[in-house]
Structure 1
Amino acid sequence: MLHRLGIWGDTEGDRARAILAALESWENLQVVLLEEGESDPDEETTVLFRQRTLIVQNADNYALDELQALVVLRGDCQEILPRLSQGQPVLVPEGGARWVHPQVYELIAPEVDLAARVLRPMLAMGLKAVQLVSLEPVSMRGNQAVSGLVREVVDMLNGRGKQHETFPLQMAFNHWPLLAEEIQKSLDALRQCLDSQALQLDWIRLQVPVFYGLVQYLHLSFATAVSPAMLKDLLLHAGYNLDEVPGGPVEMLAREDEQEPNIHADIQAGATENTLCLRVNVDNLRFSIAKNLVEVLQKLEKAL
């Protein structure tokens, strides 16, 4: 039985709040919030969980081996692992581990989750190839990145032009592609989610200077002729409700009983009869990490 879980770093960010919301129904689960560095006893950081106030603990002084599992939202796993017991599981957002370790479990990244959620029903429709472009907000890098972009914008507007240490390059009024190795990890994860090695996938991931909202543009190639109406019918049969908004995009809402995030989609015909163009965006990026975390914890709980 899982009864003590730690969350390390970004404890006031969107991802931590989503994880706490997803764990509300877990009875007898104690959650410990941890941050690195010295804390001011007169200015305690608190987070609300199950109508109770959790005080964020100093990670440097906490006995991590007392935890049954640890979620690392920000921090260096290589420095954290020596402080844990052998076999003690560590869960990180995808790409956070940077290397393979038997104790580390990577959670599905929001951009992979969104693409897989949209593409999975299309495999039965004869989907052959996908060209995908993601415009990714800084919130996907955590609450610290959101604050970093605010400071960069303020500095540049005041003529200081200082780059924040959160980003490898200037982020304010700029955009840049992610590294090839990060894109390859996303491609591998997407193929695994779709359980399809035959599907041809090309992906460009761009970091853009916006705070929230992931947008993906997909050029879809099928084995036979398709139309926007056919894709809409397919998504309806897959359990989605699609309501056309006058003068706006199609709103694709998953079933409420599954507590899915709202996905907004715009479906257009492609240049040829067997292609379609699809734009999707989702505001609730926190959902995929929180949901996947619960799934992993449920599997780990059986082994504890």
Structure 2
Amino acid sequence: MSKSNNSEMSFLDHLEELRWHIVRSFAVVMILAVLAFIFKSFVFDTVIMGPSRPDFFTNRLFCLLASRLDMPALCINQDQLAFQNISMSGQFTMHIWVAFVAGAVVAFPYIFWEFWRFVRPALYENEIKHSRGAVFATSMLFSMGILFSYYLIAPLSVYFLGGYQVSPNVENIINFGSYVSTIASIVLAGGVMFELPVFIYFLSKAGLVSVPFLKKYRRHAIVVSFALAAVITPPDVISQIMVCLPLIVLYEVGIVIAKRVEKKRENEEVA
């Protein structure tokens, strides 16, 4: 079974093809970034500042649970944080940076689709058949990671870090750039971590990992999951567990995917 004729292009032709895929992806990112720059009120006041506001969905939900369970400690982020800008061009620079990041996040499905269009001609027909839905699955997992981190991990991180004090005499007046960087790193890290089943799929397709290998190092994966959770979340146990549990579940999903890949490979060898 032969590959597509596009795979017979020269090296320079491949570079030219890749260049146009990158150009189109960058163009879409820039268009979305311009839109995000224009609608700065929605991007900053609604999206970015959302986890710090008392009326944010997650904060209201936790407060509702606090009243139902008679556990006041569950009610989080009821005091609006104070932010400040300490640089002359700080807000303008932050506006540009956030607009570009927002454009890249929203354009992720298209970027991956362009990458898939570049790689697809080099695949065999059976590989293309088994990889159907890759763009949808990758985009869905990335979106789930973004939403999970934004609606759950980000509010908890804001509550812990924004309210933590070493002394009552030290007031928290948070640099706005620090707040935005924290939210962005948490949300983007969540989106990348939720791609774990996709990584395992491609590694198993390449023969770099196997089901026995994944099962053998399951305990090591759990330890790494806790380590990653400790890096991207504040140092409180609840947030780390909330991040670690989905990673463990995704790792188990990856084992199931690796089983299917190996089974298909065995069937093809027999055929």
TM-score of the superposition, structure 1-length normalised? Answer: 0.22
Q: Which has the larger Rg?
A: 2
Q: Which has the higher contact order (CA 8 A, sep 6+)?
A: 2
Point out the structure with the larger helix share: 2
Structure 2-normalised TM-score?
A: 0.24
